[in-house]
Amino acid sequence: MKILSFTLILSLIALISFGQERELKLKPKRKDNFIHMDGLRVGMDLSRSLQHFWNKGNRYGTEFSIDMELIPNLYPTLETGWEKLRLTQDYLDYSSSGSYTKIGFDYNILVAENRQDMDMVYVGLRYGFTLANQQVKSFYVPNYWGDFSGSFDKQNYSAQWTEIVFGMKGEVLKNFFIGWSIRGKLKLGQKDFDLPHVYFNPGFGPAEKKFNFDFSYSVYYNFPFNFRK
Amino acid sequence: MKKNLLYISILIGLAISCDDVYEQPPQAFLEIALENVDSLDNSTPKVSAYGIGMEDSIWLYQQTTDLFLLPLSLEETTSFVILLDSIADTLRITHETELVFESAETGFYNEFKILDVDHSYNRIDDYAVTDSLVTKTWHENIKLYINSLPDSIN
């Protein structure tokens, strides 16, 4: 009985494997091997100015992006922006601000229905870096023997990271797009100080974490000139 | 239509906000354990404590305990008067002080390293430094060996 069961299970596994292999072989090559979007798409990330809704403190910023379809379905991308975080509470007044830039590419995995279809679902990679400064304008340490207060001058620092991106961009009006993305950010390097440690990296998020999640919600306009002519 | 609904739902999600709540910075306290020299004496003393120069600010008042916390000052030495069942001793701790940044959400606090301990001998017989580092994670730093109360007080 055991031998029969074993044989049946093996046969089932072999059948499933064969089926998957056939499925892979039968998977059609994508037929939209053409340029979907002529021109240069410029975008603005609306979520950067609303970050104080889901982050501690007053965090806000601006980010712009440029991308273009260089070869079919591959979009080199540049994103650059500025961010500030200010945390004001009873024991500390901390601020950090700086500019950041991210370069990379998006690959469209959505097969176009026709030549006019510019909607895209994409995965992408980025390399990002920031040049920023932080300042503790005042701090206060309560103590039985007498409270202690002080401040720290501006400290300049830098950081770099990489991002994995998954998102969508949909054309809602002629050449106008709306899109969102979710991003996993992995820190590659950080200039830090003994006191106080860097708490926030513009463009990356909390500096104490090696990995951060983020998302964006952007509007875009495609300047529809054909630069290939 | 489905696409529009998706974008609207994302916008609603973005609009959800919450209030910021910040915690007080942690504090590092010196933890002192009391142990009777006479192993047959199981009594626990009533402990009071105040800083020398801080007589109008009692830190600890008549607590029956064999384990208590003391705050260290930012000077090189911290001196306390400790009353064990109303018998006063002075305890002087020489220490280093270090400012520590906990986070931008909580702030700074001080940690200490005990360099030396000095005391009077009214009720305290001896001491042992069990851990010289005084951190935000409170743990026993000094053990004070105390004599039993004289029979006249008992």
This prediction's pTM: 0.77
* Count of the separate structural domains present in chain B: 1
Residues B92-109 have pLDDT tens digits of: 999 999 999 998 889 999
Nearest to B138 by CA among B147, B149, B146, B130: B130
B144/chain A closest Cα distance in angstroms: 22
Tens digit of each residue's pLDDT (9 = 90 or more) over A93-136:
999 999 999 999 999 999 888 877 889 999 999 999 999 999 99
The number of residues in chain A equals 229
- Round to whole Å and give the CA distance between A47 and A56: 15
Does B117 have pLDDT greater than 70?
A: yes
* Residue at B138 is within a domain: yes
Is the CB of residue B12 less than 8 Å away from at least one CB of chain A? no
Residue A2: band (very low, low, confident or very high) from pLDDT cuts 50, 70, 90? very low
**SS3 assignment, position A50:** helix
Q: Is residue B19 part of a domain?
A: no
- What is the Cα–Cα distance from A222 to B56, expressed in whole angstroms? 73
The residue ranking higher by pLDDT, A109 or A18, is A109
Q: Which residue in chain B is spatially nearest to A58 when comparing CA positions?
A: B20
Instruction: Give per-residue pLDDT as tens, A49-82.
Output: 888 888 888 999 999 999 999 999 999 999 999 9
Residue ranges of domains in chain A, CATH in brackets: 34-223 (2.40.160.20)
- B151 to chain A, minimum CA–CA distance in Å? 36
Residue B119's domain spans which residues? 25-146
B106/chain A closest Cα distance in angstroms: 7
Tens of pLDDT, residue by residue over A29-46, are 777 788 888 889 999 999
Question: Is B5 a domain residue?
Answer: no
Show Cβ contacts of residue B82 under 8 Å, excluding neighbours closer than 6 positions: B47, B48, B49, B88, B89, B90, B91, B124
Q: Which residues of A touch B59 (CB under 8 A)?
A: 144
Question: Per the domain annotation, does B128 fall within a domain?
Answer: yes
Tally the residues of chain B. 154
With beta carbons under 8 A apart, name residues in chain B contacting A89.
20, 22, 105, 107
**Chain A partners of B105 at a C-beta cutoff of 8 Å?**
56, 87, 89
Please judge whether B109 and A141 are an interchain contact, meaning their C-beta atoms are less than 8 angstroms apart.
Answer: yes
How far is the alpha carbon of B37 from chain A, nearest alpha carbon, in Å? 31
Strands A92-108 and B140-146: unpaired
The CA distance from A171 to A114, in Å, is 14
Residue A22 scores a pLDDT above 50: no
Q: State whether ipTM is beyond 0.85.
A: no
How would residue B154 be classed by pLDDT, with cut points 50, 70 and 90?
Answer: low
Q: Are A90 and B25 within 8 A, CB to CB?
A: no
A200-218: average pLDDT? 95
For testing contact with chain B, the best of A60, A117, A120, A145 (most B CBs within 10 A): A145
